[in-house]
Amino acid sequence: MAEHNTLGKVGEHAACELLIAHVLVIRETNWRLNHLEIDIVAHDPARNVLHIVEVKTRSMVEHFDPMQSITRRKISNLVNAANGYLRHYQLRCAIQYDVIFVIGKPGNFQIQYIPNAFMPPLRTYRR
């Protein structure tokens, strides 16, 4: 496995540990629907909220705004995947989109958790 893939897996594991510390239940990691993927699906049983979590892992950050990696296309793909997840498991609950940035080397990560990082875009239709 390439070094960046290994770093990504370790970063996702660190993100899962953070979510567990926030009393969330990890339902899935790397859930796929065709070409779409959700890094982590977690559930908050107290509020019945499903957390769709995008994890971005980087070995170092120099002049990098982590939110720049969350593009319109990424948001659209996450929203479509989340809708597919709800349909697949026939769930009825609120959804929250979170982002976790994991920066550094394994054993020395800095983790930034952004709950409610974005809302799904609204679509309007013209007649």
Rounded to a whole number of angstroms, the distance between the first and last alpha carbons of the chain is 51
Owning domain of residue 88: 3-117
What CATH number did the domain enclosing 99 receive?
3.40.1350.10
pTM of structure = 0.89
Q: Domain for residue 122, yes or no?
A: no
* CA neighbor of 74 nearest in space, from 10, 45, 117: 117
Whether 78 is covered by a domain: the verdict is: yes
Tens digit of pLDDT at every position of the chain (127 positions) = 555 578 889 999 999 999 999 999 999 999 999 999 999 999 999 999 999 999 999 887 666 676 778 899 999 999 999 999 999 999 999 999 999 999 988 888 999 999 999 988 766 555 5
What secondary structure does DSSP assign to 42-106, as a single string?
EEETTTTEEEEEEEEEES--SS--GGGGS-HHHHHHHHHHHHHHHHHHT---EEEEEEEEEEEET
Q: How many domains does one find in the chain? A: 1
Q: Does residue 125 lie in a domain region?
A: no
Q: Does a structural domain hold residue 126?
A: no
